Chain A
Amino acid sequence: MAESHGEKSGQKAGAHTEADGGHGGAFPPFDSSTYASQLVSLAVAFVALYIIVSRFALPRVGGVIEARQNMIEGDLADAQKLKDESAAALKAYENDLAAARSRAQAISNETREKLNAASEAERKVLEDKLTAKLHDAEKTIAATRATAMSNVRGIAADAATAIVQRLTGAVPDGAAVNSAVDASLKGQA
């Protein structure tokens, strides 16, 4: 076997497409003389690879990926926390704003009512005063009118006496004139 290997290597030290005609006949993948070498090298190489991969490579790369994953998750959690905080702050602000607004509304309502009440009271006082004045004025008018009316009767009696005297030449009886005037006033009234 050793000889066959050596012989082959001697023959095959050429370029790929060299027409050296030296295959030793067998199709290389089915050349069983090379199996032992290949199996041994495969075993050595694969065991080495397995050890490297399982001991060093996978823990290393897996660690890096996991660290990144943790970091991303941590950052996302932080971001979520901050977002929640800002949402809470916004809510508190909105509550405060609503409270302030309703208080302002209450104050303005109260003030308006107070002012309304005050102006109403003032108006009432003024109205009362005016009503009283109107009353007084009406009384004065009535008194003046009554006086005037009683004066009218005297004047009418005098005028009637003077008219009768001019027409008849005789002074009429006072009592008769008075009753006539009264009758006339009553008829008018």
Chain B
Amino acid sequence: MKIDPIHQFNIEPLFTIGHIGNHTIAFTNSTLYMFVAVALISVLMLASGRQLVPGRLQSVAEISYEFVASTIRSTAGAEGMKFFPLIFSLFMFICVSNLVGIIPYTFTISSHLIVTAALALLVFFTVLIYGVYKNGLKFFKIFVPSGVPIYILPLVMFIEILSFFLRPVSHSVRLFANMLAGHIALKVFAGFVAMLGVSLGAVGWLGGVMPLALTVALTALELLVAFLQAYVFAILTCIYLNDAIHPGH
């Protein structure tokens, strides 16, 4: 019995679609779960009722709507509502794919750095392009904090610029690492149960209660992390967009 906690992250092509340059574009399990996430969000948002007094599904749809809307309003102000569809899509996409990923035998899209990096870069370039488009050169005032003595300003500016360009890194690695580590931990502890049982027989199955309990507890924790990381991703997006909307902070 060998536990392979990395296996769950394998990208398995289901069929090949075509080639771009010398890259093969395949329909993979990752693709499938992306479409699953999109389909689940669409069902939630489009198939829920439109009653005056909402049912369960409609409540979930409305709560997610209002949750994201209030997050944007509180961090980026009313002007941030321009980006409501973007932030809502990001939040729901990450949240749903994280939650789906907790189900055993599924694949977690956000456990791949390339996906989280792509989403983080999408946010980064949205901030950069919208900031320059809306504020022109004034956008770069975000690198020059007001009220800093002139003799340390170059240092502060250097740090600000560095942190600005490192944003997509921290933004993407945070989500990726959380999902990856959580799933590896889950897999390892769940594997212990089977390993103890197979190697020690009845005593092992009894001893397996401990890692099993830990697996249950970790699953609960992962549920929290799945939601929390989606929220963190969304709120950081709001904060970054706030810089683009109001650069003179």
Interface of A toward B, CB cutoff 8 Å: 1-2, 5-6, 8-9, 12, 16-19, 23, 27-31, 33-46, 48-50, 52-54, 56-58, 60-62, 64-65, 67-68, 71
Contact = CB atoms under 8 A, between A and B. Distances in A.
A135 B217 CA distance: 122
Given A50-B85, A53-B89, 16 more contacts: A5-B13, A27-B9, A28-B112, A36-B25, A37-B31, A45-B38, A46-B93, A49-B38, A50-B86, A52-B46, A54-B85, A54-B89, A57-B41, A57-B45, A61-B45, A64-B50
Contact of B6 (A2, A28, A33): A28
Interface string B135-173: 000000000000000000000000000000000000000
Contacts of A56: 45-46
B113 A37 contact: no
A36 B20 contact: yes
Interface string B169-194: 00000001000100000000001001
Contact of A49 (B26, B41, B191): B41
B112 A38 contact: yes
B115 A12 contact: no
A37 B9 contact: no
B125 interface: no
Contacts, number: 167
B38 A48 contact: yes
A38 B116 CA distance: 11
A66 to B, nearest CB: 11
A44 B17 CA distance: 13
A17 B6 CA distance: 10
Contacts of A9: 12-14
B84 A60 contact: no
Contacts of A65: 62, 65-66
A16 B108 CA distance: 14
B86 A37 contact: no
Given A29-B9, A29-B176, A52-B46, A40 B89 contact: no
A15 B61 CA distance: 35
Interface string B11-48: 11110100110111111101100110110011001101
A62 B243 CA distance: 26
Contact of A28 (B10, B92, B122, B194): B10
A38 B30 contact: yes
B49 to A, nearest CB: 8
Contacts of A34: 11, 28, 30, 114
Contacts of A62: 65
B220 interface: no
Contacts of A29: 9, 111-114, 176, 180
B89 A49 contact: yes
Contacts of B48: 61
Nearest to B64: A61
A71 B8 CA distance: 49
B183 to A, nearest CB: 11
